[in-house]
Each structure stands twice: as structure tokens, then as C-alpha cells.
Structure 1
Amino acid sequence: MDSRLDQQKRLAAFKSPFADERLVVESFEGTEGLSELFEFRVLALSREATIDFDQALGRSCSVGLRGSHGETRHFSGIAVEAEAIGRRGDLFAYRFVLRPSLWLLTRTSNCAIWHRKTAIEIIEEVLRKREIDFRKALSGDFPCLDYCVQYRESDFAFVSRLMEQHGVYYFFEHSEDGARLVLADSASSHGALPNTPTIEYAGKEFGSIHAQARRLFGWSSNRKLQTGKVTLRDYNFTAPNADMSGEASATERYDKSALEYYDYPGKYEQRDIGKHYARIRLEAAQAGDYRRFVDGDAADFFPGGLVSVTRHPTDEENKQYLIARCTHRFAMEAYRSGAGADARPYQGAYELHPSDRPFRAPLATPKPMIHGPQTAKVVARKGKDSEEIDVDDDGYGRVMVRFYWDRDDLRSCWVRVAQMWAGAKWGGQFIPRVGMEVVVEFLEGDPDRPLIVGSVYNKDNGLPYCLPANKTQSGVKSNSSTGGNGYNELMFEDAKLQEKIRLHAERDLESTIEHAETREIGERFETPVGQSSRKTTIKMGDDELNVMSGDRKVTIASEDKLTVGMSREATIAMSDKTTVGANQNVTVGGEQTTQAGGAITIQAGGEVTIMAGATITLVAGVSIVLQAGGATFTVGPGVINAVGPMMVPGPLKAVGVVAPVP
């Protein structure tokens, strides 16, 4: 038995991956609109009791409605549902749901990052990756986005919210081979309907309504009170005091027409972009006003087409409109021989938008939020992967991170780092280094606005003080760059009876005290200096050391040099002892006086030589005794005594001597 059904002479024909006449249309209904994913539901009949749906799912199908002048209006899409729904007499009924290829993006989810691209460039990249047929009909300029994140959302939701934010909407151009996506942003994106640039308003339903008729009836004009003003505001840390407000206002005259919609943050970094975003939001809100709702037989109406209406009794209604939405219904009686072409009519319902008013899609797609912090790994920018510390060149201390959900190693934007303090050239400064695991928060939960708030240790990056053995220790320990092997450290030990603070400088330690420094040491003060020198310079002022109780010891392994610019005074309450292992030289530029309250003893293992350039004067209150060998020479009050042999090589002259030497 022949399984084919004749659809060659019918108003509707179904094209599918199956043989042309294995499935024929019994009825068809569909809805399509600007920035909407159309849905066409096809009820088809077949002589076959079973059909392999795998041959249809994911593949292109179309319904063609033939017009009165030989043209065909195609409704094309991807088969996304197929259902066997029982018998129709001796035939079998099947239902197919057709959606655009863009709908396939609703069945995806991804996390991805884009750098320094416009929204349109990002959208194009996503569409091409998913092999979506599209064309651009855009006239506007789009700002470059420094950083844009797709986070745990479908490709469709991602491109939809980008389009909505930037004033882009879309529609589809249908052909027998498929539906092409068209990106639009203004009136110039649209053209008149190819077969029906002008259509008459008939006023009421008339005659037989079928696919060949092109008239409108059942007209209604709708107004809606909408937001009349949009104000956005944001903050840019590179210009913290700048006015970042963006505003846009409508010109409607009805009461309450100036209702304001205010939002923060506006998600922009320049005020001009804020004004642009505010205008787009206002136009999106106003686009729901001035709608016309009509019925008709214009099967070739499609969203995105322009049509001019004539013969409406209200002159203001006779003008050009942008078709915003269409609902199509079509049914046929039977496909057996003898069935007439007019057995099942086409009926349509349409929403029209005045073409002289901007159209924008509503901002209906929410941006995903990141609820809570994430961790990420600090990385260097590409081309500087060998760097251990890589910060932005603008002086804000920002670093790049790679999130653990990033599969493409695209890295983040430059991310600011929260510090303990952040003043005007004062505060804390700790720059996360490459390889560190940091904690990242997101301002307002926005994936596009990360902020580093801390860092954590992991298996590769262990703590500086081993645990649990050193659980009483805390502090800060750095690492010398590049290559490490050195560190600076401030450590606190809080173990009972072992409390201490350890300060380690890998190379130099600089301490500047503008006024006074006071240290109180309870027991012992030690300053070991390794294989280097110590230098203390007091630019102005005094140096005083007081040992209130106890001793002072100074041990010098080599030389000790003391230079005093003026006078030097030493006061010793008790005894003073100086031991010199070799020679001692004392050089006095002027006079030298030695004064003792008791005796003065000079003892030498060898000779003692006293030399004077002029006179040597010995003054004694009682006597002067000179002893050498076995002789003694005594000078007393009025007497000179000599004991032992004495030799005077020259004449002896007595001056003021009362008696000769005996």
C-alpha cells in the first residue's frame, strides 16, 4: 500500500527529514515576536504507525503556506519535540515542535571570560561557536567591555542579557532551508514586508478567511502608563569623586508621566556610557506603550517587518508600523482526494509598534549572582608568566587571578586587593604573589566585579610555622624575590614562660624615630652583630648610657678607636684599672696633669725615661728620694743626703745650699 499522502496542491506543506509526503500538515499554530524564541507546533498525518523520531530531532523542518500570488511564507525551525498522539481514522497523527537554532543555546551552560571586547563581538563569538546562522543589521556604537563574565548560565541567557543591556534585539528571517537570526538596534534595521508593504484595514471580519487574504480587522489601540525617567549611578575607583550619574527622561504629557526608576550600580565606568544605558532602559520601558492589537489574514506578517496601514477610519492610525509579535493558526480538513483548498483557513493575530518610536526589548534576563566568596589562584599576565610578583602598571596594586572554573586559562581582569588600611599614601600594603590562593568576593554579587579580600593556605603553600607544634606562634613572614631563600619576619611566641617577639631582616633594618625611643628591659639585653660592622650616628644631641645597678663590660677582639671632638671627662667613683698587653702611647697636644689623693706609683719592667724639651721640675712637700742600684739620693728640707757610691762627672755647683754635701 502506498504510504504517501498528496500535499502538492494544498495551502500548507510540511518539509522534514522524512520523505516529502510521508507527513502532511493537518494543522499548524505558532507564536513569534521581537526578541522572542518562536515556537511552531505542527500536527501532521501519516499512513505509518511508527516514525523514527531520531531522524527529526535536532534537524531543520519547515511549514510552507502558499499565497495567492504563488509566493510561500515559510515557518522554519529545528525539531525539538516529537510526539505520536494516536489515530485519525485510518491515519496516524504526530505533533512536532519547531524552535529556532538559537533555542539550542538554552540547553547549554558555561563559565567563560572575555577581555576588552564589545558586547556585539562577544555575542558574535558565542553564536559562531554554536554554529548559529545570523546577520547584523546594527547602526549603533557599542562600548568596549574591559571584563565580561559568563557565569553558570546558558549561552542564550548570556547573549540575551548582553543584547538587552546594550539595546539590541532580534528577529528571524525564514526560508525553506531555515531561519536566520537578525540582530537589530534601530529603525534602519528593518525593511518593508516583501509581499505586503501596505495593507488595508477592513473594519470587520468578512468572507472566507484563508491564507490568500491580506486584510486587517478587529483593531484595538492600547496605551500604558510607564516609567518616565531613568537614573543610574555608579562608582569608578580611578575617579572616586566624579559624578557618575546617567539620566534619561521621556516626553509624555499624561499625569504621573515622570515616575523615576533609579538604580545602583548601573554597571558602567564612564558617565557617557551611563547616560546611554539609562536611555536604553527608558526606551525599553516605553516600548510597551502605543501598541496596536489586530487580527487578520496576513500570513506573511513576521516580527521585524515594516507595514503601512491604510483605510483606517482614524487618520492617526494610518501609518507605518513595526510588526512586534504574531500568532498564526492554520488548519486543513483532509488530505484525501477531493478535499478543497479552502477547507481550513489561516487566522492571525498581530501586535504592531509605531515605527517612529524606538523599540527595545525589556531587560528581562537576570544577570547571575555569585552568592558568597570564591577562591582563585594568583597568576601573572600572559607574557610575564615567569614573574613572581605581577601587579598592574597603574599603581593600584591589582593582580590577576585564575578562577578554578576557568577552563580556557583566560584569567581575570586586574583585581583590586582589600588591605587592612587604605589612606592617602598611608595604610597597609600586602600584594598577593603568583601562586597564592586568594579569597575573592564580588561587589553586589556581580561576576564582573571581583575583589580580593584575603588569602588561604593549601597543600602547596603551607603555613610559615608548622602546626600543631607551633600553634602558639603567629606573625608575618615574607619571602625574598625572585627565587626566595630569604625572608623578613615579625613573629610572636605566646607559649607560657617562652613568650617572645622575633624580628628578622634578611638584609638591612632601617628604623626612624622622629622624637624619642624608650626601651625597658627586665633582665638581659644582647645585640649580636655577625660578620659585619655596627655604626651609630647621632646627628644632633647627646648620647648617654646609665647603668643604674650592675656592671658594664666591653670586649673588643681587635682595635678600639675613640675620637672626641672637644673634651673628654671620666668620673670613676672607686678604682680604675687599665691593663695593656703591649705598648701604650699617650699623646697630649697641650698640658697633662695627673692628680691623686694618695700615692702615685709608676712601675716598669724596663727603663723609665722622662724627657723634657726644657726643665723638669720635681716638687715634693717633704722630700725627694731617688734610688738606683745600691745608692740613695735624698733631698729634704735644707738637706741633700746621698748613701752609697756617687760619681759626679763635672763640677758640682750648689745653688741655695746651706752646707756642702758630706
Structure 2
Amino acid sequence: MQPPRLLTIRTPLGDGALTVVKLSATEELGLPYAVEAEVLGIGAIVPPEKLLNQDVTITVTQRGPSPFIRHFHGMVAEFRKLSPGPANRMTYRLVLVPHLWRLGLRRNCRIWQDRTVKEIVTAVLKDHGLPEPSWNMVQAEAIPYCTQFNETDLAFVSRLLEEHGLSYYFKHSAGGHELCVAGAAASFPQGDPPVVVAVHGDASLDTYGQWRRLNRTRGFTTVLDDMDAERSRPSEVLSKTRPTRTYVEEPSMPGAAENYFWPGGMSTRPGLDPAEVSMSDQEARSEEYGAAALDPRHAVGTRVAVTVMHEDGSQKSNQFLITAARHEAVDNSGLVAGAGTLESYRANLALAFTARRWVPPPRHPRPAMPGMHSAKVTGPPGEKIHVDEFGRIKVKFRWDRWGKDDDTSSCWVRVMQSVAGSWGGAWYLPRVGDEVLVAFLDGDPDRPVVVGSVYGKDSPPPFKLPANKTQTGYVTRSYKSDSAADANILRFEDKKGSEEVLLHAQKDLTVEVEHDEERKVGHDQTEVVQNARTVTIKDSDDKLTLEKGNREDTIKMGNDTLSIDMGNRSTTLKMGNDTTELKMGNLSIKCDLGAVTIEAMQSITLKVGQSSIVVDQMGVTVKGMIIQSEAQLLMKLKALMLQDKADALAQIEGGIVMIN
């Protein structure tokens, strides 16, 4: 009976349709594996569509007392026809990759909010019809805001895991492969075999060979600074510092091997310690080990206890994690008559101490956000202004195909003002539906800032253009009003000869002046008050000076009342006349307590119809059709000369008439 081949393959073409003659497979923590295989066909040429995107399993069987079997399962991502091989059979080259590799075929822009790394990765895999990974002792807090921008799903998932110090690897079986995620060394499974001896010479089925060690000088301190507008003052920074834990001599100059990063990432990943992840990366790369193996079962992502047999006879045991492997196998057995068995297998392994946390290197940095991005301001249904206590708003980016037009579209986004500070500043708040331009602090997609607003077809400028191109200003529509006429307006007209400043208050206008107010009008001033007008001067004088011209007060209907609670009233007319004309009604002057004095240089005249009283410097003249003088008790007439004259009749009557 012919012994089993070293390399066998199972494909949708059926058993025996293809024969594997060469295999080269690379595995590494945190990367999709790739398996290249040269295979020989039988009979007709194999069409590419028969194998592309199909699952294939290649099995390595290392013969011995107990055969060592290792499966490589994957999807055919590449299929190439080569020149004929042994026995003049058609040769093909296949490249097998994990199903995860398909995530690299889709590029996307998407926002995730308040989801853990588990939930995000699982959701992305589900979009591709892939099952949830096996999470080995992975605990993670929810990420408040996480952006995927112009990244493939594979790059995004890899970046997210790298930021959290998590690695992924694959478990293979004859019928499939499983994606596994782990963090701490203890979360990686024990390998098969779990214990192995390593020597510096050649490898055997039971031992690692060519054991080697690599040491590098790395950074000794990681310092990360960041800022968070919600949790810190502008003058403060969030800082994380992690010194190395390795036993390597530290540089003599302090800070000489310090790794400083800005921004550190603490503001966007509150539950994460990026300094710890960065320092673990430095430490993991400071000391690495390598070995050759003939047993194909040694798989990336497994732990193995290694006892190193040194050339001086000493030995030392430690736990190691297999971080990478390259498998090379050739199997020409049975293809050339009389050639005997032509097969070989060898693996080169990379290992790291499990005593140190192994994290994947940062191969996938966050994308740098280019320029500014257009977005629409969003809020709850029916709300026109949506804001938090820090004056932040919600937006929906044009490229966000997954977000909703509501208050869940983004994180709270700060709004840049022309000036802002603890002393005061300008304040403008975009409203729901406005188009805004968004930049990103330090180019970080998770740190958006609104830097301005723009007009468009749905939101034209408030002044009709180009007819009013000389006008600038501000228009703020009344809250929850759909009418453009309901607005406060400050408008500047710069057209030559028609310059104007318009201030329109839709309801009330309040002006407060703590000290003096001075107003100068170069020409006319007109005030129109539709209702009441009240002026209160609390503690000083009211002075009106009319240097030239006339003053006219007109009350078309109503009363004019002047009330002085205490004090005097004085009117001085230095030159000119003072006329009071009452066209209808009565004129009353009443002095409840005190005297009334009317004084004139020339004369004082009281006149009603043809009757009059004239008081001048010559005397008092009283004229009238009838003049009556009546005293209840006594009337005296006294003069140097007294003359009574009647042209018709003079009559003197009395109870007693005495003439002296």
C-alpha cells in the first residue's frame, strides 16, 4: 500500500482532481494568512471560475509513529495557470486566504456610537455574512464615537483591534477555519504539542532547531498627551506615562529614549490606556525569538512551553507565544517513476515571551481627514435648535450612508466661533437643516469641529442677490417660525449715496448703557412709537437745547399733563412771543396754595368779545357793555381824583346814601 502523501488537497472539483506539489504559507498575529500552493491537474484545463471564491483545504501529514496533521483551510482568492509540470500535467497556482480577507474588498465610511469593540467587529463581519469571532477573555468598554473613513472593512477592523492591543489568529480544521481574538497572553490557547525542547542545531520532529534570540534597543518611556474640551480646561492636558518593564539598561540621558505622542487618543477612547498599549508594543519588539520546526502542528496564536538546551549543557524553560510562522513544503512523491520519495516540510517560527504582553504593531493608523467636510445639522423630530450645555450640535455627514437625520447622527460636535473665551466672545449656533463645514482636530476622524456655515439651494442668502450685493448683515429667524418675515435683522447697506444701517427687532429691543450714551445725528431724526412711550430719569436733569429752529409738540387726541411733585417750574423766553391758543374748551389756572403773579413791561390785556381789561403803565382800563362790581360787605374806591360820568343817566341807590 502506498503511504499517504505529505500534501493533499480537497476542492469542489472532487478527490484526485488536483495534486499539491508545493506549499508556502505565511501566518502572523493580527494579519490574514496567505497560503500559496502549486497543484497539478488531470485532464482538461480547470476553468478559474470553478475554484475562485471556493473553499479549499490543504492538509500536511508529517509521517511518524503518530502522524502529525495540520490543515490549511481558506478561500481561493487567486488562480493562475502555469506551464506544464511533472508528467506533463497542467500546473496551477492557488492562493488561499481567510474569509476575513473579503473585508478588504469593501471600502466604507461609517460612524459607530456607544458600541464596544466586540459589537463593532461582529457587526462588520455580519455585513459580509461571517460569524462572530471567538473572543478569548476580551473585555472592552463602549466606545463613545468611532469613525470609519475611506478605509476597507479589513483595515478598519484591524485598526480597531490594534488600538485596543488585541490580536487575531485563525484555527484551521478539515472543513473550515475560525477567527479568534485575544489580548493578554493567558487568553491564547495552549498549543499542540504544549511542550517542546529547543536546540541550537537542526530541528527534528520532536524539537525546535536553530534556536535564536534577537534583542533590540527600544524606547524606555511612552508619554501621551491629549485634550478633552468636555473634561478639561484649555490650559490642561490629559497625560499618560508608562515606563518600560524590561530588564534592559536605561539610557544615561533622561528622556533620550522617550516616545511622545500627540494626540494620545485618551479623549476618544476613555476606557483605554493607549500608553500601556504603546509601551507593550515597544517591549514586545525589544526581545524576539526564532526557531525551525518539522512538526506542522505548531500554529500561530498558541502558547508553548520551551526548554532551551544550550551548547554548554545548561537549559532554561519559559512560556512562549507563537506570533508568526512561514511553512514551506514540497511533495513530488509518486509523480516521476523511479524518483523515490521527494518530499520535505519545514516551518520557521517567531516567538515572544508570554511574560510580556504581546500587542500587534500599529500597522493601520487612523486615516487623516483631508480638508473640510460638508454636513447637515440634525436634531430630534420637530426641533429647530438642538444643543447641549457646551454649545455643541449634532451633524450628519454627506458620506454617512448609515446615519439617520436625527439626534443620533453623530457625537456632540463643538462649533467654532470668531472669538471665544471665559471673558466672553461671539456666539452663533447653527440650526437643524443648516449646511455646515466640519474640520477635524489633528486630522482625527473622531474629533470633528464645525468651522462655519454655507448657503446653498435649500438655504439661500437672506438678502436677494445679486440685486442687493452691496448689503451685508445678520438675519436670525424667530424660533419655530417658517416665515422669513419673522426675524431679527442687522443690515448694512454700502451702496454709495444710499448707505444705511438697519436694525430690526422682531419683538422687543433692549439697550443697556452702564455709564454715558452719546448720539449724534447729522441731519434729521424721526421716531415713531405705535403704543406708549415712557422716559424715566432717576437722579439728575433733563435738558433739551434747540440751538436754531422751531420746536413743535402736537397731541392729535389725548391729554397733556405736567406733574411736579416737588420743586419749581420756570419758563424763560429771552426774545420772541409766547402764545397759548385754545380753539375749543376751557382754560383754567388754579393755585391751591400761594400766589399768581402776571407781570409785563408794557401791558396786560384780558379780552372777551368787545369787553376788555387793559393794565398798562398808565393804569387799568375796563371796557364792556355792562361792568358790574359787587362786594358782599364793603367796596372802597380811593383816588386823588375820582370822577363818575354818565352820558344818559346816573343813578345812585342805597339804604342810606351819604355824600361828603
Q: TM-score, normalised by structure 2?
A: 0.90
Return the letter of the residue paired with 1:564: I
Quote the offset at 1:493 in angstroms. Answer: 0.9
In the TM superposition, what are the counterparts of 1:211-222 in structure 2 within 5 Å?
Answer: 213-222=205-214
Query: CA 1:272–1:404 in structure 2 vs 1: closer, same or farther (change >3 Å)?
Result: closer
Q: 2:288 aligns with which of 283, 291, 310?
A: 291
How many Å apart are 1:128 and its aligned residue? 2.2
Q: Which among 416, 427, 430 is matched to residue 418 of structure 1?
A: 416
1:269 match: 267
Q: Is 2:250 the counterpart of 1:246?
A: no
Q: 1:304 aligns with which of 301, 305, 309?
A: 301
Match of 2:398 among 391, 398, 404: 404
Q: Which runs of 5+ in 2 are unaligned?
A: 630-636
Distance in 1 separating the partners of 2:84 and 2:50: 21
Pair 435,647 (structure 1): closer, same or farther in 2 beyond 3 Å: farther
Deviation per CA, 1:311-340: give whole Å up to 9, x if none: 612756432211111111111124459789
**TM superposition shift of 1:650:** 3.0
Task: Tell me the amino acid that sits aligned with residue 608 of structure 2.
Answer: A
Does the C-alpha gap of structure 1 residues 631 and 244 become closer, same or farther in structure 2, counting only changes over 3 Å?
closer
Helix, strand or coil: the match of 2:78? Answer: strand
- Distance in 2 (alpha carbons) for counterparts of 1:576 and 1:118: 90
The answer for the alignment partner of 1:191 in structure 2 is 189
- In 2, the alpha carbon distance for the partners of 1:652 and 1:328 equals 160
Name the structure 2 match of 1:508: 508
Identity in percent = 30
SS in 1 for 2:420: coil
| Secondary structure in 1 matching 2:645 | strand
1:613 equivalent in structure 2: none
Asked whether the 8 Å contact 1:308–1:320 carries over to 2, the reply is: yes
1:218-237 alpha-carbon deviations (Å, 9 max, x no partner): 11111111111100001111
Distance change (3 Å), C-alpha of 1:413 and 1:151: same
Match for residue 72 of structure 1? 69
2:122 aligned counterpart, secondary structure: helix
- Looking at structure 1, the residues matched to 564 and 2 of structure 2 have their Cα atoms a distance apart, in angstroms, of 121
Kindly indicate whether the alpha-carbon contact (under 8 Å) linking 1:134 and 1:182 is maintained by their aligned counterparts in 2. Answer: no
Q: Which residue of structure 1 aligns with residue 634 of structure 2? A: none
CA distance in 2, matches of 1:305, 1:631: 136
* 2:221 is equivalent to residue 223 of structure 1: no
- Is the Cα–Cα contact under 8 Å of residues 190 and 304 in structure 2 kept in the other structure? yes
Q: 2:582 aligns with which of 569, 580, 584?
A: 580
Matching residue of 2:572: 571
The 5 A counterparts of 1:66-145 are 66-67=61-62, 68=64, 69-70=66-67, 72-88=69-85, 89-139=87-137, 141-145=139-143
> Any conservation in 1 of the 2:300–2:323 contact (CA below 8 Å)?
yes
CA distance in 2, matches of 1:311, 1:625: 146
1:421/1:428 contact within 8 Å kept: yes
Q: Which amino acid aligns with 1:55?
A: K
Deviation, structure 1 residue 271: 10
SS at match of 2:539: coil
Amino acid at match of 1:601: T
> Which runs of structure 2 are paired with 1:595-606 in the superposition (5 Å)?
595-605=599-609
Q: Secondary structure at the match of 2:75?
A: strand
Distance 1:311 1:110, change over 3 A: closer
Q: What are the Cα deviations for residues 573-617 of structure 1, in whole angstroms up to 9, with x where unaligned?
A: 221111112222222222221122221122235999x9xxxxxxx
Structure 2 contact 605–615 (Cα < 8 Å) conserved: no
1:297 deviation in Å? Answer: 0.2
Distance 1:62 1:647, change over 3 A: farther
- Kept after mapping to 2: 8 A contact 1:624/1:635: no
Distance 1:108 1:636, change over 3 A: same
Write the letter of the residue equivalent to 2:428. F
Task: Report the equivalent of 2:526.
Answer: 526
- Greater mean deviation of Cα atoms: 312-321 or 563-572: 312-321
Q: What stretches of structure 1 of length at least 5 have no aligned partner?
A: 1-5, 611-617
**Equivalent-residue separation in structure 1 for 2:318 and 2:77 (angstroms):** 38
Task: Confirm or deny: 8 A CA contact 2:372 2:439 kept in the other structure.
Answer: yes
Q: What residue in structure 2 maps to residue 51 of structure 1?
A: 46
What's the counterpart of residue 162 of structure 2?
164
In the alignment, which residue of structure 2 is the partner of 1:37? 32
Aligned residues of 2:334 and 2:340 also touching (Cα < 8 A): no
Alignment match of 2:646 (pick from 643, 646, 651): 643
Report if aligned partners of 1:625, 1:635 keep a CA contact under 8 Å in 2: no
Confirm or deny that 1:345 pairs with 2:344: yes
Q: Alpha carbon RMSD of aligned pairs, Å?
A: 2.7
Query: Secondary structure at 1:562's aligned position in 2?
Result: coil
Check if 1:28 corresponds to 2:29.
Answer: no
Q: In 2, distance between residues paired with 1:8 and 1:482?
A: 84
Partner residue in 2 for 1:321 = 320
Mapped partners of 2:627, 2:182: distance in 1: 132
CA distance, structure 2, for counterparts of residue 217 and residue 321 of structure 1: 15
Q: Which residue of 2 is the match for residue 627 of structure 1?
A: 623
d(CA) in 2 for partners of 1:20, 1:221: 43
Which whole-Å CA distance do the structure 2 matches of 1:374 and 1:135 have between them? 34
What whole-Å deviation, never above 9, does each CA across 1:101-153 have from its counterpart, x for those lacking one? 11111111000001122233222221222233443334354343221110111
Higher mean Cα deviation, 7-16 or 261-270?
A: 7-16
Match of 1:546 in 2: 545
Task: After TM superposition, give the deviation of residue 255 of structure 1 in Å.
Answer: 4.5
CA distance in 2, matches of 1:402, 1:648: 111
Q: Retained in 1: the 8 A contact 2:376–2:435?
A: yes
| Aligned partners of 1:137 and 1:189 also within 8 Å | no
Normalising by the residue count of structure 1, what TM-score does the alignment of the two structures yield? Answer: 0.89
SS for the counterpart of 1:601 is strand
DSSP 3-state at the match of 2:607 = coil
For residues 366 and 287 of structure 2, what CA distance do their matches in structure 1 show?
29
Q: Secondary structure at the match of 1:245?
A: strand
Paired positions, count: 630
Distance 1:541 1:347, change over 3 A: same
Aligned AA (2:622): L
SS state at 2:275 partner: helix
**Matched residues in 1 for 2:13 and 2:44: separation?**
14
